[in-house]
Structure 1
Amino acid sequence: MDRAPRAPRNRIDPRARLYWLIECGLWLVSSVVVLLVPALIWAQVRPGLLIAFAVVGTLLVGWTSTMPLLRYRVHRWESTGTAVYARTGWLSREWKVAPLSRIQSVEAKRNPLHQLLGLSQVSVTTASAHGDIVIQGLDKVVADDLVAELTVATEGTVGDAT
């Protein structure tokens, strides 16, 4: 019997959609600079670069118009007295669970765009070879509270964190 695990209870902050939209827009602007500007300068390669720009631009516009909304619908997180849960993705789905006894470190990260929008990303590092649990798009205050809560919870959890 193949049953999907229940979704974690908490949604990320709605501003995450704007964060991802801006991120996509930066990729779109980068493609203009990388493909369109050289096409305007060098006539010999213009047709190839214009075709490449049309293809890449079309893909990026489609990505920009769908990814932030789909990703927001999927992303969820939860912290309980025994584990941290996260579900991420937009085309594919990833579900991660980290028992408190396996957590090695917890950190909040804020790049300049996060800071501008009042958002944070929380990374929970475990001894697993499958990588960190990353919860993106949290309100700064919620992220700080989560880091503090997990720090206290892991200090009081018996386990070897390996």
Structure 2
Amino acid sequence: MDTTSVDAPGAAPLRLRPPRNPVDARAVRWWALRGLCSAGLVTVVLGVVAWLWEPGRPWLAAPLVLAALWTVVRVVVEPRWRFAVHRWETTDQAVYALTGWLVREWRVAPLSRVQTVDAVRGPLEQLLGLATLRVTTASSSGAINVVGLDKDVAAEVAERLTLVTERTPGDAT
């Protein structure tokens, strides 16, 4: 058995390979803002508590330093690393996605298994003109999310995948 291909019924074999397209460069700012909103908030809260509660300062010093270092990692390192790793691609046979920064996940979904295709835009994504392409399949692993796409690219790809999926034989289960 050839372990390098995934065969969809009635379609040419899919070759497992890395996806070709990088995400939009604005995704770096999006990931940095998300890191600032989460890790940065913890750092600020610890800093305010340490400033206001003098007897607690000795116990809060180490957590505050660790939170500040984690904030730097989330705001400076993670976004650039994700941009270097995240890739995506769609063909008439499948959706390919490579994601992660600590744990990398490579997913391939044959279009015969696709149930829904959505372009999702959270508040920060709207602010930056970005979107997430969400491809839901019959897989127990959940949807494939391609984050950090230009909003127009995500809408165009969602529309194209919807049309291709309608023409693809299979019951998406």
What's the TM-score, normalizing by structure 1?
0.92
Pairwise mapping of residues 78-97 of structure 1 onto structure 2 (< 5 A)? 78-97=89-108
Structure 1 position 27, deviation (Å): 2.5
Q: Is the 8 A contact 2:32 2:74 kept in 1?
A: no
The answer to whether the aligner puts 1:13 opposite 2:28 as a matched pair is no
Q: Is the 8 A contact 2:24 2:150 kept in 1?
A: yes
Structure 1 position 28, deviation (Å): 3.9
**Among the aligned pairs, what percent are the same residue?**
47
Give per-residue Cα distances to partners, 1:27-60, cap 9 Å, x unaligned: 3430233211112222232221222111121122
Structure 1 position 63, deviation (Å): 3.2
Counterpart of 2:141 in structure 1 is 130
Counterpart of 1:155 in structure 2 is 166
Provide the aligned length of Structure 1 versus Structure 2: 160
CA distance in 2, matches of 1:34, 1:42: 12
What's the TM-score, normalizing by structure 2?
0.86
Counterpart of 1:31 in structure 2 is 42
- Root-mean-square deviation (Å): 1.6
Give per-residue Cα distances to partners, 1:59-116, cap 9 Å, x unaligned: 2213322111111011111111111000011222110011111011111111111111
| Aligned partner letter, 1:32 | T
CA distance in 1, matches of 2:17, 2:109: 15
CA distance in 2, matches of 1:81, 1:62: 38
Query: Which among 117, 123, 133 is matched to residue 112 of structure 1?
Result: 123
CA distance in 1, matches of 2:77, 2:86: 14
The answer to whether the aligner puts 1:100 opposite 2:147 as a matched pair is no
CA distance in 2, matches of 1:110, 1:69: 21
Pairwise mapping of residues 35-46 of structure 1 onto structure 2 (< 5 A)? 35-46=46-57
Q: Secondary structure at the match of 2:19?
A: coil
Q: Is the 8 A contact 2:40 2:68 kept in 1?
A: no
Structure 1 position 160, deviation (Å): 1.0
Structure 1 position 152, deviation (Å): 0.5
CA distance in 1, matches of 2:112, 2:62: 53
Which region of structure 1 is more displaced relative to structure 2, 55-64 or 103-112?
55-64
